[in-house]
Amino acid sequence: MVGDMAFEGFNDIVWLSAAIAFVGTIAIMLLLFPFCHVLGLVDHPQGRKDHDADTATTGGVAMFLAITATALGTLQLGAPLWSFLGAGLLLIVTGWLDDRYDLRWWWRIAIQVGAALILVYGGGVRIEQIGPVFGAGAESLGALSLPLTVLATVGLVNALNMIDGVDGLAGTLVLATLLMVLMAAGYSGNGMLVQRVLMPIGALLGFLAFNFRFPGRARAAAFMGNSGSALLGLTVAWSCFRLTQNEGHPVSPVLALWLAPVPVIDCLVLIVRRLMAGRSPFSADHNHIHHIMRDAGFGPASTAIGLSVFTLICGLVVGQCLRWNIAEPLLLSAYGVLLLVWFGITAKRAWGVALFRTARFWSRSPSRSLVQGDGAPARHHG
């Protein structure tokens, strides 16, 4: 993934698409702010939410509208992109209803399954092979293709929702993931995906202009809401499927595991721990990795930056390992080791806090030095 990249189809229109999505997201956010209370796009500080003022949740709607307008205005849409927009619209509406009326979890899951089926049957976007993970040739999934595609899509949607508990965190994590998808697509010559993935990158940058804690900003000016986290999960799923399931521009499916390690591993570990404790996997707690980092003294901005840098390191190192022909079963085993380490860090909270305090000390207290005002309370979800 590192090296000379043949960005086929990387032209002025592509740059224009990214710029339009960026400016469009900012413009739509500004247009929606006066109407957020009327539309029910507001997150109120109550229950386990620690933010201290009503905050607009216009990010998801703004990003989706900007991506849709950009795609319709600048690109030739094929079935895969139409399916993404259709599934995205379904999740955006559901997320808005969930923010407003707190839908039952089984309704959300059922609709997320429907969105995954739109990708499969509307655009032919699915997981069909998993590469030589067992040491032989590429493993074709056959009848398992559909359920694994649905499981991966629903899993990513919920993983991004669960990790969206700190200002700027979900957005910067997905930005890191999409930047690596962009590099991998360019390296493999998949110019079509390069064009497509630049739109959500532009939209994310526009949203982060309101959501990230920059110097002088004590808290986020807007959230993405459940609609936004669902859209980001769908975007990661669609992008990784299009990257690794492309016969014309093959990229190892093992790489996809390492492009979004933080939300996926954090979600898997917490689900296992909740089930072991006899609780619902959808119950809320403060055992996410960002909660442990908060207890160790990291603020929202440094948490987002630190975990995003970790994401980039994981993806770039594994990408380089694949270029060096490191056996894919070894890379899959390394992922399993990371899962176990993550489980240990979150299971023994004192150990995790001590580990992150040490990291914070050696990085010269990034929670104070990287971003001003970073020590303010983080926003917490389930």
For 122, residues 6+ apart whose C-beta sits below 8 A from its C-beta are 79, 82, 83, 86, 87
pLDDT, mean of residues 305-311: 97
Least confident window among 76-85, 224-233, 361-370: 361-370
Kindly report the backbone phi and psi dihedral angles of residue 158, in degrees, each rounded to the nearest multiple of 5, phi listed first: -75, -35
Q: Per mean pLDDT, which of 104-108, 255-259, 292-296 is the most reliable? A: 255-259
Domain boundaries, the chain: 12-369
- Tell me if 35 sits within 8 A of 96, measured CB to CB: no
Residue pLDDT, tens place only, 332-380: 999 999 999 999 888 888 888 888 888 877 765 444 444 444 554 445 4
Q: What is the pLDDT of residue 374?
A: 58
pLDDT band at 285 (very low <50, low <70, confident <90, very high): confident
Closest CA to 151 of 237, 248, 90: 237
% of the chain surpassing 70 pLDDT: 87
d(CA 129, CA 126) in angstroms, rounded, equals 9
Q: What is the pLDDT of residue 366?
A: 44
Token pair belonging to 204 = 């994310």
Q: Residue 81: is its pLDDT beyond 90?
A: yes
Q: Residue 50: is its pLDDT beyond 80?
A: no
pLDDT band at 5 (very low <50, low <70, confident <90, very high): very low
Q: Residue 234: is its pLDDT beyond 90?
A: yes
Element (H, E) at 55: strand 55-56
Q: What is the pLDDT of residue 125?
A: 95
Token pair belonging to 221 = 């000016």
| CA separation, residue 196 to residues 201, 232, 363 (Å) | 9, 14, 36
Least confident window among 70-74, 156-160, 365-369: 365-369
d(CA 257, CA 339) in angstroms, rounded, equals 12
d(CA 155, CA 165) in angstroms, rounded, equals 17
Q: What is the pLDDT of residue 373?
A: 43
Q: Is 222 helix (H, G, I), strand (E, B) or coil?
A: strand
- pTM for this prediction: 0.91
Q: What is the pLDDT of residue 345?
A: 85
d(CA 4, CA 173) in angstroms, rounded, equals 25
d(CA 299, CA 372) in angstroms, rounded, equals 10
Token pair belonging to 66 = 């900007």
Q: Residue 12: is its pLDDT beyond 80?
A: no
List the end-to-end C-alpha distance of the chain, in Å, as a whole number. 34
pLDDT, mean of residues 149-168: 96
% of the chain surpassing 90 pLDDT: 66
Least confident window among 47-61, 230-244, 333-347: 47-61
Selected residue with higher pLDDT from 320 and 358: 320
pLDDT, mean of residues 166-186: 96
Q: Which amino acid is at 212?
A: F
Least confident window among 92-96, 129-133, 341-345: 129-133
| Size of the chain, expressed as the number of residues it contains | 382
Q: What is the pLDDT of residue 289?
A: 93
> Cα 260–266–271 angle (5° rounding)?
130
